[in-house]
Amino acid sequence: MNTQRIHPVDEVLPLRQLFTFGLQHVLVMYAGAVAVPLILGSAMGLTSAQIILLINANLLTSGVATLIQTLGFWKFGARLPLIQGCSFIALAPMIMIGKEFGLSQIFGAVIAAGFITIALAPVFSRLLRFFPPVVIGSLITIIGISLMPAAAIWLGGGNPDAADFGSPANLLLGLATVSVTLVIYAKFKGFIGNLSVLIGLFVGSLIAAACGMTHFSRVSEAAWFELSAPLAFGAPEFSLVPILIMTLAMLVIMAETTGNCLAIGKLTGKPTTQETLGNAFRADGLSTMLGGLFNSFPYNAFTQNTGLIALSNVKSRFVVAAAGAIMVLMGLFPKLGALIAAVPTPVLGGCA
């Protein structure tokens, strides 16, 4: 009889738990996931329809990227619970490229930089020996601290320029979400305790709905089904300068991926090896190439989900794969994405 114990990372949970824990991951990262296409689309002066196309494409390819990173195939994918989303690191370079060269050059640079990332993966993975425990600990600390400004902005309402930013209503709603999340986490164990963030989001959204702070108009306006066609903005164009700029951004993303892999490795008890890092980099590169083809952008692991793993103590990569599947559905069925988008920003900030 085989008595070999399955590592928590490789544990396949019951379907109900896969869905609920996966949904919890999606809700935690949703605001950050749609921020890049929103900001880039606004900076480029795109129409509302074009920005919606970018958001749907982003959700679809984020889901595919997460499936590649968590499930893996051949030498692609870290096979760790790493949820993927559009990287903020590449946002400023993409805006610069877009304003100077145009949107087609952005997608061309993204595709080329993704290919270069795959080629550099074996070389960059050898740098793991330069990450002793003190460096790993510092990285994990920095990851946590770096989330605080974004969480604070969400708590205040999401837009610092808005008239109601930091209003008592927003702050109270966010703090109520924090309180519910912490009470559930402290008072309950097992399945309920692990869902503390999801329950906090649900209760916070109910409070917002009762106070008239939740709007579902976008749900009725959204289409039932929509498939983002590849190269919807035309054929990508390739030029040396945009490719070099995007490649530099991908080098920084690879450094951040290293930090996230090391942090997840410590949290899950599955040490990160040189092979793991190389596979993670190749997955980032492949997902980035797919992003460029399907009207989206460079990808890397989202740090807020690293914190969620520490809080929930659910370490299964299949849970995060379920989150990837949910994002694919959100990209294919815009009404589902619009429903999740109705969660008020202060509620998301409270959980973050």
Compute the average pLDDT of residues 324-348: 79
Per-residue pLDDT, 120: 93
As a whole number of angstroms, the distance between CA 153 and CA 166 comes to: 8
Look at residue 109 in the predicted model and tell me its pLDDT. Answer: 95
Helix (H) or strand (E) holding 140: helix 133-156
* 99-118 average pLDDT score: 93
pLDDT band at 350 (very low <50, low <70, confident <90, very high): confident
- Convert the pLDDT of each residue in 304-323 to its tens digit: 777 778 778 889 999 999 99
pLDDT the model gives residue 1: 45
What average pLDDT does range 18-33 have in this prediction?
A: 83
Percent of the chain whose pLDDT exceeds 70: 89
Looking at per-residue pLDDT, the higher value among 6 and 30 belongs to: 6
Other C-beta atoms closer than 10 Å to the C-beta of 63 total: 26
What's the whole-model pTM score?
0.81
Classify strands 299-301 and 84-86 as parallel, antiparallel or unpaired.
antiparallel
pLDDT digits (tens, 9 = 90+) for 260-299: 888 888 889 888 888 999 999 999 999 999 999 998 999 8
Residue 184's DSSP bridge partners are: none
- 41: β partners: none
pLDDT band at residue 63 under the 50/70/90 scheme: very high
Residues in the chain, overall count: 352
- What pLDDT is recorded for position 246? 94
Higher pLDDT: 159 or 247? It is 247
Mean pLDDT across 20-34? 82
pLDDT (0 to 100) of residue 76? 96
Nearest Cα residue to 262 out of 273, 272, 251, 274: 272
Alpha helices in the chain (DSSP H): 15-43, 48-71, 91-101, 103-125, 133-156, 168-187, 190-194, 196-210, 217-221, 240-268, 274-293, 303-312, 317-332, 334-341, 345-351
pLDDT of residue 241: 93
